[in-house]
Amino acid sequence: MFGKFKRFFAVAGVSTLLAACQIIPGGNTGPANTPAPEPTPSQSTLPQDEARHRVALLVPLTGTNAGVGQSIANATTMALLDTNADNLRITTYDTAKGAKTAADRAVADGNKLILGPLLGDNVPSVLAAAAPANVPLISFSNDVSVASSDVFVMGHIPEQSVARTVDYAMSQGSRRFAALTPKGEYGDRAAKALAKAVEARGGQMVASQSYDRGNSFIISAAKKLSAQGGFDTVLIADGARLSAIAAAQLKKAGDDLPHILGTELWSGEASIANAAALRGAWFSSVPDARYRRFVESYEARFGSKPYRIATLGYDSVLLTLRIARDWKPGRNFPVSRLKASDGFIGLDGIFRFGPDGVGERGMETRQIGNGTVSVVAPAPDKFKN
């Protein structure tokens, strides 16, 4: 599989706030993609596949998140083409018109694996249709609360980003931490992740402030946090623009402290490189090197930029193809093979699923410079245990 996967790179050479499972990050600045046609029941239209696995892709193709869903669908098509896969039939179903309806149709059409849904809120509805038929889900959500023995969460987990960055910060001398987080689920998760990571590594949580999202609110919260003092490092769990505004309030001109930490939300945001207040800041995310090649290929094929989350669609196909080596068409999907300890590799680097169904990823830590973003702690190329 990896040999086939490398062919993608040759093709590629020629060719904001994520609130857990609810708000989808941007990144598509090109023209809107044309929605895929609505699938029809297989009883009359889909051929009988004796040599191919039927796999359902459940994403929104209409409504608010249609662009994201189409981007993921396009990425799955790319993966099939780049690997010359001829043993999978992937049929797309629109969850925006009803997640349960889409799942019912996917199961009735004989699909043995569901890639999706995109939103964690849709998982219960999809699972209600899939579980009785022994059809597992590989969800693109990052909501760990929906993970189970039948639901594998493939999204990038903010808690893992925070923990990785705290590791690096403490290796550089950070000991006393503070949190500046937006109100809501994402901010709550980031704050708890910071406190847990700091405590586990022998550091100390000194202060925290939450805020309603917006320029004036984050400035006010940053001033309050600064007045409390006593910390040498601050996590700002927001996108690049608001993080830069807050950092300017926390750091006096010429001062190196406090160290500023970000989350995976900064990944792919070009503006961070030129934000003077963020110089020296650290954040962790999945590796971006392969993503840049993916973008080139995607733009050549579809005429627009993909959403950052589209790589999950591509990697879910690579994952399925690896398992399909020993998976006979028509049989139930071998769920146990998703829990391989050595994991899988894709555009976003290495990943594997734990016993709880939550995806674990190898992340790199980056540092913001003067117009640059550099890797200061590379992502691992394999899991240690």
pLDDT digits (tens, 9 = 90+) for 291-335: 989 999 999 999 999 999 999 999 999 999 999 988 999 899 999
pLDDT at 277 over 90: yes
**Contact present, 88 and 80 (Cβ < 8 Å):** yes
Identify the band that residue 226 occupies on the pLDDT scale cut at 50, 70 and 90.
very high
**pTM of this structure:** 0.85
Q: Is residue 103 part of a domain?
A: yes
SS3 179: strand
- Whether residues 368 and 228 fall in one domain: yes
Q: Which of 92, 78, 71, 75 is nearest to 29 (CA)?
A: 71
CA atoms within 13 A on the CB side of 127: 16
Q: Is residue 384 part of a domain?
A: no
Q: How far apart are CA 51 and CA 41, in angstroms?
A: 20
Average pLDDT, the chain: 88
What range does the domain containing 217 cover?
158-285+364-377
pLDDT at 87 over 50: yes
| Interval 42-73: pLDDT, tens | 443 555 667 899 999 999 999 999 999 999 99
Q: Is residue 225 part of a domain?
A: yes
Q: Is residue 358 part of a domain?
A: no
| Interval 135-145: pLDDT, tens | 999 999 999 99
Q: Which pLDDT belongs to residue 132?
A: 97
Q: Considering only 27-31, 159-163, 284-288, 348-352, which range has the smallest mean pLDDT? A: 27-31
Q: Is residue 385 part of a domain?
A: no
- Whether residues 369 and 232 fall in one domain: yes
- If one counts the domains in the chain, the total is 2
Q: Is residue 214 part of a domain?
A: yes
- Whether residues 258 and 369 fall in one domain: yes
Q: Which pLDDT belongs to residue 40?
A: 40
Q: Is residue 349 part of a domain?
A: yes
Q: How far apart are CA 259 and CA 171, in angstroms?
A: 13
Domain CATH number, residue 86: 3.40.50.2300
Identify the band that residue 20 occupies on the pLDDT scale cut at 50, 70 and 90.
very low
- The one-letter code for the residue type at 293 is R
Q: Which of 384, 324, 365, 315 is nearest to 344 (CA)?
A: 315
Q: Which pLDDT belongs to residue 134?
A: 97
Strands 113-115 and 53-59: parallel
- Whether residues 117 and 165 fall in one domain: no
Higher pLDDT, 19 or 261: 261
